[in-house]
Amino acid sequence: MTMNKNKIKIGVVGLGTVGSGVINLLEKNKAEIEKRSGFSIEVTCVSAANKDKKRDCDVSNLKFYNNPLEMIELEDIDIIVELMGGESLAKDIVLKALEKKIHVVTANKALIALHGNEISKIAENNKCDVAYEASVAGAVPIIKVIRESLNANIIHWIAGIINGTTNYILTEMLKSKKSFGEVLKEAQALGYAEADPAFDVGGIDAAHKLTILSSISFGIPLNFNAIYIEGIEDIELVDLNYAKELGYAIKHLAIGRKNATGIELRVHPCLIPKSRLLANVDGVKNAVVVSSDAAGPTLYYGAGAGSLATASSVVSDIIDISRKIIFKSNASVPLLGYQVDDLKEQNILDIKEVESRYYLRIRVTNRPGVLAEITKIFGSKSISIESILQKEDLISDKFVPIVLVTHTVIEKNIFDALIDIEKLDVVKGKIVKIRIEELDS
Ligand code: HSE
């Protein structure tokens, strides 16, 4: 095939951590990228709110726009790289680019999770690509793996640590015995956290990413609202310690699982056996396990955030699209991994229909008969207790913590039982409930 041109012109919108990383990486590895691809990629224009802001990349020789829509209108570019984040303006930028038949690369998980169905159709109508590898798990090429490398498989389940900030916080709390607040500040200083860190600790960021992963794994339209979300705000150091004692690590997981009655889509803290690889993914690192019929379980691990790490995925998308432009190819992987007409709504299970084992921490009055009162309620809801742990040394007042591990039970029964148990006079405060995931089948 003959080349049509050998230079690709890029416009970058957003010059924060990732935008700077992309400018720097294209510059730093220019020769290597050319040797691998056979063509050159040149950033010709950039857009950000403030031209004079001190930043980590040099854009003094590039045409600068305050208004990205104006840049798209006026500049002759092949690919627009949207790295400003947020939803509203980012969506306008992407739609305007597609309208002008300009391909798009983005790292914007909220944009894809919330507007990807619409963007996918418009991209297809305009015969343009929208690539978004950096939107999930930073440097880890999980979108490419699921859409391309595992495309001969039926995917049964995916489970991942896909928010580096929560993983960093849980890891550091246990390691340094620091408070949740202190560790969150460190994560923000390191540039891992979202502009609104509530998106990280509350599970929204992971849910955006799971929305994307579940769509490309199971062939369902993007549906953020179907995801059950819990953050890590209620996890205390004491739970991390108890979990460790029981042979588990507590991780904030995003899980998509297809079973006989529907698909589970959930983001919440979990106890995972310490022997699982995911249980040993620490700090800001991300990891995703994909379990599929032919390949079996496969694991993908790496940096989930960071300037050059995320830029690695963005630039890879730029190179993929550039190759298509250069070689005038129409062969695209569908945006959501399935032909648009083959994306089908499926039954998404309510969290109360999900089955799991549970770790429960209950604060109770320390007197005979208390456990009997509690276990009677569990018995009435067909909940069987696997083990009980009571640590006298942790008594801080007249209440003592009891830790119970249940056998597998449907969530509805646990939910109902805990309402009744919390009403008992001998029980103080809210019961801590964390699901246990074996991740073995
Ligand atoms: N806030 C995100 C995280 C950044 O902590 O993983 C990468 O999406």
Q: At what angle do helices 109-125 and 204-218 cross, to 10 degrees?
A: 40
Cα of 201 vs centre of ligand 1, distance in Å, is 10
Q: Is the CB of 164 under 6 A from ligand 1?
A: yes
Secondary structure E strands in 181-247: 228-229
Question: By CB neighbour count within 10 A (0-12 exposed, 13-18 middle, 19+ buried), where does 429 fall?
Answer: exposed
* Model pLDDT, residue 398: 75
Q: Is residue 305 lining ligand 1, measured as CB closer than 6 Å?
A: yes
Distance from residue 7's CA to the centre of ligand 1 (Å): 32
5 catalytic per annotation: no
List 248's β-bridge partners, or say none.
273
Which is nearest to 112 in space by CA: 228, 9, 205? Answer: 205
Q: 211 CB under 6 A from ligand 1?
A: no
- Find the angle CA(290)-CA(292)-CA(297) to the nearest 5 degrees: 50
pLDDT the model gives residue 187: 84
Can you point out the beta strands (E) in 208-325?
Answer: 228-229, 248-259, 262-273, 285-292, 296-303
Q: What is the pLDDT of residue 1?
A: 47
Instruction: List the pLDDT tens digit at each of the 441 positions of the chain.
Output: 455 578 999 999 999 999 999 999 999 999 999 999 999 999 999 999 999 999 999 999 999 999 999 999 999 999 999 999 998 999 999 999 999 999 999 999 999 999 999 999 999 999 999 999 999 999 999 999 999 999 999 999 999 999 999 999 999 999 999 888 888 888 888 877 887 889 999 999 999 999 999 999 999 999 999 999 999 999 999 999 999 999 999 999 999 999 999 999 999 999 999 999 999 999 999 999 999 999 999 999 999 999 999 999 999 999 999 999 998 888 889 999 999 899 999 999 999 999 999 999 999 998 889 999 999 999 999 999 999 988 765 555 678 899 999 999 999 999 999 999 999 999 999 999 999 999 987
pLDDT on residue 397:
60
For ligand 1, mutation pick of 136, 200, 213, 285 (most atoms within 8 Å of CB):
200
Q: Which atom of ligand 1 is nearest to the CA of 165?
A: 5
Atom of ligand 1 nearest to the CA of 286: 6
Between the CA of 277 and the centroid of ligand 1 the distance, in Å, is 21
Q: How far is the CA of 288 from the centre of ligand 1 (A)?
A: 14
Spatial distance between the Cα atoms of 436 and 351, rounded to a whole number of angstroms:
14
Instruction: Report whether residue 163 contacts ligand 1, using a CB cutoff of 6 Å.
Output: yes
CA distances from 265 to 58, 163, 214, 227, 304 (A): 42, 16, 8, 5, 21
**pLDDT in the model for residue 368:** 87
For the Cβ of 138 lying below 6 angstroms from any atom of ligand 1, the answer is yes
pLDDT value of residue 329: 87
Is the beta carbon of 194 within 6 A of some atom in ligand 1? yes
- The CA-atom distances, in angstroms, between 56 and each of 10, 183, 294, 338 are 19, 25, 44, 38
Token digits of residue 403: 């830790």
Distances (CA, A) of 250 to 91, 169, 282, 425, 436: 36, 11, 11, 30, 9
CA of 371 to the centre of ligand 1 (A): 42
Cβ 192 under 6 angstroms from ligand 1: yes
